[in-house]
A = this chain, B = another copy of it.
Amino acid sequence: MAAPPSDRRRKQPGSRDERKSRTRRGLLDAALARLSGEQSFSSLSLREVTKDAGVVPAAFYRHFPTMEALGMSLVEESFATLRGLMREVRSEPLPTTHLIRQSVDTFLDYVLEHELHFRFIAKERYGGSSTMRMAIRQEIRLFTSELATDLARMPRLATVSSADLQLISSLVVQTIIAASELALDARPEDASELPRIADEAERKLQIILLGAAVWRSDQSR
């Protein structure tokens, strides 16, 4: 008469470590999924996360001491994927024509591919706790510096000082971030929206690089 024991623990396969890191991923993914909606991280509850991950609330503490810690992990892994993009781009030969347009397209594609991570960053960049904000700002600063060394290789920026390169890179980054945020909010039903955003970003970058090339020589005002 005894029915087969309805075991709620039914994730069978894998060693102990594998199973642990799998539910850890489950928690991170559950949080990311929730954050793609209307909620912000600080309004996200531990219980919601564990529920979506298919785990009891108390199990959360086996993986993170607090929600804040989970948030920091999300920041870290978001920028880890971004570094992946940079490595990828650098390994390929640079296009000689339409370099700006191609870079914009590549970046925006990447953002949409990792939509949830970038949505999270966009929200927490200014909305999160101060430790989170500082962590994100630090990562962006790092990204800006790396981009600056890439910009130095452009012929028309050959004569620019490294301090000015930093400035220009910061302008480029803030422009591409703004475009990313628009792209994330673009309604998928309007297919013309994304190219328009890319167009605008491209033109902005052209203006910036144009100004940068004249910048030094005009230093005297």
| Contacts from A to B (Cβ < 8 Å) | 38-43, 122-130, 133, 137, 167-168, 170-171, 174-175, 178, 181, 185, 200, 203-204, 206-212, 214-215, 218
Give the complex CA separation of A36 and B126 in angstroms: 11
Given contacts A40-B40, A127-B127, A174-B178, contact A167 B211 (CB under 8 A): no
Give 7 CB contacts A-B under 8 Å: A123-B126, A126-B127, A127-B127, A167-B204, A207-B212, A208-B211, A210-B214
Give the complex CA separation of A19 and B57 in angstroms: 46
Give this chain's copy count.
Answer: 2
Q: Is the CB of A167 within 8 A of B200?
A: yes
**Which residues does chain B contribute within 8 Å of A175, judged by CB atoms?**
171, 174
**Which residues does chain B contribute within 8 Å of A214, judged by CB atoms?**
210-211, 214
Complex: chain B residue closest to A174, CB-CB: B178
Smallest CB separation, A70 vs chain B (Å): 15
Complex: chain B residue closest to A130, CB-CB: B38
**Which residues does chain B contribute within 8 Å of A200, judged by CB atoms?**
167, 170
**Which residues does chain B contribute within 8 Å of A128, judged by CB atoms?**
40
Q: Of B43, B171, B206, B215, which one neighbours A43 at CB under 8 angstroms? A: B43
**Which residues does chain B contribute within 8 Å of A209, judged by CB atoms?**
211
Q: Is the CB of A171 within 8 A of B127?
A: no
